[in-house]
Structure 1
């Protein structure tokens, strides 16, 4: 059998289940660390419940993936996850979810591993969102998840430091409401409202334009050039203010099209 015939015969087993995101839909890729609990608590010994070094690794990994060939409008990271909003006009890999998931997970895993100096893996899934409000709701969801996780993490490690076992600490938290968890921390000297915003709401990453001095290659005269760079936001708005923040990002992006 000639190669072309064999290639055509076998290629179908790779592509028969290919799914593509329909044109005009927004795509959000969510990357999530695999076995990061073991990685951060046993192999690397990061501080608990939050570690600035780990935060910075996640931010730098997000920056890398935002700048590796896709049209990514907004990045968001909290805990061991990253969410990436792709422009609805992005046509990378024909919008095949198989390719998007594998390439984004590979880029993030490779970058994080290099930064950490330890093998690390992140998986990826794609959300297909038809409206701007769906996109806003998605990021509001992850923003609220960051808040919930931060409260639970501070409570959990407060109990662990008092000698409670992992199971006992988890059992106690299951019985407490949000207000009771806040009160528990306050009695132990921690006002949850005063903690850094990045711990409670995650970190957003946006593209910003800036002007830099340059030289005209033909004339040699001094000129200015407009460039783009990624800027982390460590104090994101809260509640409806965050929804408005995401909505404005989308409005600014579509107005430039």
Structure 2
């Protein structure tokens, strides 16, 4: 599938999602209380990235995105996070099991600290994240991830739109209007899916070839690894359903 088709599929799906309604809903689920129960999301937001990354490509730089992916993989492998979404300067980690005795403050501080240290180490820049915990019911996981992709896509389109057309008016059109104009005038032609919609990280099982040291025979063993996906609605829904099957 070419980049134009991917962009149109993503835009067609996420244009229908109302971020204002979901922002109001999920902001009320950000917790300051001490104890939580899974599932929950830890959202890490970059602090002041736009001011600190002025030498990198605007509005999104592939090197920085790759650094965030690597940091998210480290967190997933360390704490067995079930899924992660990286978009813009934001990483959302889904947890379906208990860690640190379900203490919200401990969880958010440790996850954001590990994310910050990994990103700072790879870039050599003083970059860090704040962290917050959002409780979600199992049926809310998919809407939450769709919501964060929609917000990130809107921010990307808005940044491109105002960069290219700021002299022709200051108002911000709708998501669909921005997408159509940017695509029509060719500004999305070189834009890759990761820049537009981010990257979804999920666990997958695979067979690894090995040799039994006692017998010398070839054996195949099951292993898990983190896989990168474009966060289409289908991939988010399918990945979460598969997660529920494995855990159920």
State TM-score, norm by structure 1: 0.76
Question: 2:237, 2:148 → 1: CA distance?
Answer: 15
Question: 1:182, 1:214 → 2: CA distance?
Answer: 49
Question: 2:201, 2:244 → 1: CA distance?
Answer: 17
Aligned twin of 2:88: 79
Secondary structure of the equivalent of 1:72? Answer: coil
| 8 Å CA contact retained: 1:48, 1:157 | no
1:52 aligned to which of 24, 38, 62: 62
Alignment of structure 1 residues 72-221 onto 2, 5 Å: 72-87=81-96, 90-130=97-137, 132-159=138-165, 172-174=170-172, 176-186=173-183, 188-191=185-188, 195-221=191-217
Secondary structure of the equivalent of 1:91? Answer: coil
Question: 1:230, 1:32 → 2: CA distance?
Answer: 22
- TM-superposition CA deviations, 1:29-57 (whole Å, max 9, x none): 1011011111211xxx1111222111111
2:224 aligned to which of 209, 228, 237: 228
Question: 1:105, 1:149 → 2: CA distance?
Answer: 22
Question: Against the structure 1 CA distance between its residues 216 and 126, is the aligned structure 2 distance closer, same or farther, given a 3 Å change threshold?
Answer: same
| Number of equivalent positions | 217
Question: Against the structure 1 CA distance between its residues 56 and 173, is the aligned structure 2 distance closer, same or farther, given a 3 Å change threshold?
Answer: farther
Question: 2:35, 2:221 → 1: CA distance?
Answer: 38
Q: Which runs of 5+ in 1 are unaligned?
A: 1-16
Q: Which has the larger radius of gyration?
A: 1
Task: Calculate the aligned-residue CA RMSD, in Å.
Answer: 2.4
Aligned twin of 1:251: 244
Question: Against the structure 1 CA distance between its residues 120 and 195, is the aligned structure 2 distance closer, same or farther, given a 3 Å change threshold?
Answer: closer
Q: Which runs of 5+ in 2 are unaligned?
A: 1-31
Question: 1:112, 1:141 → 2: CA distance?
Answer: 25
Higher relative contact order (Cα pairs below 8 Å, separated by 6+ residues): 2
Aligned twin of 1:7: none
Aligned twin of 2:232: 237
- The more displaced of 219-228 and 203-212 is 219-228
Question: Against the structure 1 CA distance between its residues 186 and 222, is the aligned structure 2 distance closer, same or farther, given a 3 Å change threshold?
Answer: closer
